[in-house]
Chain A
C-alpha cells in the first residue's frame, strides 16, 4: 500500500488543480519514454544528441524535465530513438465517473443486450483504470 506524507499529499492534490502539475508530469513521462527507447536502441546520451544535432547537455536537460519541448521537437526526439510519438488523451476523473455512471444505469435496463452492456462496462472500466479508480478495478477483475 502506498503511503504519502500528509503535507506532500495535500500539496500534490492542490497542485493537481493547476496546469503546472500536469505539465511537469508530462515532461517526466516523455523523459522516461525517451530514455527507455534510448536504452532499447543501445544509444548513449551522446549518440542521441548526435542524431538530433544537439549536445548531450541538452539531452540531460530533457531527461531532467527542464525543457518545454514543442511537438516538433518531441517527434524528432522520438524518431531519433527509433520510436514514434503517440499522443493519448485520457479522461479525467469527473468525465470518467460520468460515463461509468451511465453504463451502470444501462446494466439495469431490460431491453439492452447483455453482451453490449458487458462490453460497455468493460470499456468504461478500462478508461477508469487509467485513473486508478477502485470501482473500475472491481469491474474489470471482479
Chain B
C-alpha cells in the first residue's frame, strides 16, 4: 500500500495512492474548480494545523468523529468533506476521500469505505508493506 504525504510537521497527514495518483491531493489542489477554492483552502489550512497540533486538544474543533468504533473522522468546509482515519506511529491522519456534498449528514457509504480502507491499512502496517511517498524537502533540494 502506498500513501502520499500531504503535509508533515509533528505528525504526518497522508492520502492513499491509486495507480500512481493521489486523488485527494489532486482534488485539493484543483486549479479549475474556483467555486470551492475558499473551502478547499480552509480544509488545507486545517490539515496543516492538525499536522502541527495533533488530533486531540485544540484541533478537535475541526475534526468531527463520524464513527468512534471504526475511527472515521470528517473535516468539513461548506460542501467540501474530507473523510479521514487515524494512522499508526507518526502518521496521524489518512485522508481517504474528498467529496463535494451539500447534504447535512455524512454519507454512510463513505464511512463504510473509510472503515474498509482502515482495515487494509492496518493489515499493510502489520505486514510492513506500507510505503510513504514524500516529495523532497525544498531546502534539501536547494542544498543539492
Query: Which residues of A come within 8 Å of B, CB atoms?
Result: 1-12, 15, 20-21, 23-25, 27-28, 31-32, 35-36, 60, 63-66
Contact = CB atoms under 8 A, between A and B. Distances in A.
A41 to B, nearest CB: 15
Interface in B43-57: 44-46, 49
B125 interface: no
A21 B76 CA distance: 17
Interface string B26-55: 101101000001100110111001000000
Given A4-B7, A7-B29, A66-B78, A28 B49 contact: yes
Nearest to B59: A32
A8 B61 contact: no
Contacts of B77: 64-66
- 9 nearest CB pairs, A to B: A6-B135, A63-B61, A11-B29, A3-B8, A24-B42, A24-B41, A20-B38, A3-B137, A7-B29
Contacts of B44: 8, 11-12
Contacts of A31: 61
B89 interface: no
Contact of A35 (B7, B61, B138): B61
Contacts of A5: 4-7, 25, 134-135
Contacts of A66: 42, 77-78
A10 B44 CA distance: 13
Contact of B38 (A3, A24, A35, A36): A24
Contacts of B138: 4, 9
Given A20-B41, A24-B45, A31-B61, A8 B9 contact: no
Contacts of A4: 7-8, 135, 138
B137 A28 contact: no
B58 to A, nearest CB: 6
A31 B7 CA distance: 21
Interface string B57-77: 010011000000000000011
Contacts of B9: 2
A3 B51 CA distance: 11
A3 B134 contact: yes
B61 A1 contact: no
A20 B78 CA distance: 14
B61 A15 contact: no
Contact of A64 (B7, B31, B61): B61
B103 interface: no
Contacts of B134: 3, 5
